[in-house]
Structure 1
Amino acid sequence: MLTGTFDLPGGLTLRPARSSDTVFLRELYAATRVDLSLLPDAELAASLIDLQFNAQTESYGRDFPDAMHFIIGLHRDRIGRLILDFSAGRVHVVDLSLIAAARGQGHGASVLRAMQRTAERVAAPVMLAVDRGNPGARNLYARLGFHSEGARGDFHEALVWWPPALCEPGREASA
């Protein structure tokens, strides 16, 4: 089990998630579900968000049992979460979520660049999936050199970033 805090550029930190972070994680998830929060019945919306959060948590636990769960901090404030899975010879970004106030500030890019540096050290690609309806995230990933690996279900696209040392002849090196 990992302990301690990892420092990233720009005052960002990663630390292992704790059970005391559950309320923050539930609120973070709710902030990403604008679609459900727009329902006219606030009680129904809150119930659906809670059900979806629990379903996502169970799904991640089942699909990525060895994943590491981190809280992203900025100075002393919690601003997001990162779930990483290093199985199958890759650095798989299972989930990267930031609170609304932290989006568009370069924090997600800083975290992803740190994952790219980690991938270079362990000689593995960085894999992730992006919601096709999230142009901001898609643009960020493209700027960081991620390339499409095709559809992943009905709503997501699988993306990969290859460290330059692992690029096959004819494959473009990533930024």
Structure 2
Amino acid sequence: MTGFTGAFTFPGNLGARFATPSDEDFLLQLFIEARPWLSWAEGSRDFLRMLHEQQYATMRAGLESLYPEHIDLVIEKAGDRVGRLTVDLGYSDWRVSELQISIGARGRGIGSDVLRGLQMAATGLLLPITLSTPMMGSHGRQVYERLGFRVTDVTPPLYQMAWFPQGHPAAAPAGAAVPA
């Protein structure tokens, strides 16, 4: 991330900008893609649309409540919207509450590049990055561990994870095994 220009840059030729009202349909679609089980409900197409919109609004309200100072960013690659990042840039840590990549852009390292960019920025401030990932039905834990995150707590159905920059008091000494 560079100086504030209304947008942020990340490795892998990625950028992120503040979400705008014109992004709402894209953000709702990302929400639906990340929660396919909502589409398993019985009902008409209109009912399912209403269910998705209601759950999306509930998720957004929850984010506002838990992280009132979060920023909501749209991730772009070569000008195309490919994902979403919601992060709370706190004073004691940066909390990634949502990192979603569209189905068509998954498997290309976009999420990893976004996290690497956050790690580079957080290193200079000696701030940890925290997040949670599902215990089941997700490969998140393995992906985050490859990026240096470690499990700090288990609160079913989630793993609580953190990454600590070198020099942070909680950072593991080089070469030390970190318990899972």
In structure 2, what is the equivalent of residue 119 of structure 1? 122
Q: 1:160 aligns with which of 162, 167, 170?
A: 162
Number of matched residues?
171
Q: Which amino acid aligns with 2:99?
A: L
8 Å contact from structure 1 (residues 145, 161) kept in 2: yes
Q: Which amino acid aligns with 2:90?
A: S
Shift of the alpha carbon at 1:47? 2.5
TM-score computed with the length of structure 1 as normaliser: 0.89
8 Å contact from structure 1 (residues 80, 96) kept in 2: yes
8 Å contact from structure 1 (residues 33, 49) kept in 2: no
Greater shift in the superposed pair: 36-45 or 159-168: 36-45
TM-score computed with the length of structure 2 as normaliser: 0.87
Q: Unpaired segments of 5 or more residues in structure 2?
A: 176-180
Shift of the alpha carbon at 1:88? 4.5
Runs of at least 4 residues off by over 4 Å? none
Q: Which amino acid aligns with 2:12?
A: G
Shift of the alpha carbon at 1:163? 0.5
RMSD between aligned alpha carbons? 1.9
How is 1:45-84 mapped onto 2 (pairs within 5 angstroms)?
Answer: 45-84=48-87
In structure 2, what is the equivalent of residue 6 of structure 1? 8
Shift of the alpha carbon at 1:96? 0.5
Greater share of residues in helix:
1
Identity over aligned residues, as a percent?
Answer: 29
Q: Which amino acid aligns with 1:162?
A: F
Q: Which amino acid aligns with 2:43?
A: D
CA distance in 2, matches of 1:168, 1:132: 24
Q: Which amino acid aligns with 1:28?
A: L
Q: Unpaired segments of 5 or more residues in structure 1?
A: none
8 Å contact from structure 2 (residues 8, 15) kept in 1: yes
In structure 1, what is the equivalent of residue 99 of structure 2? 96
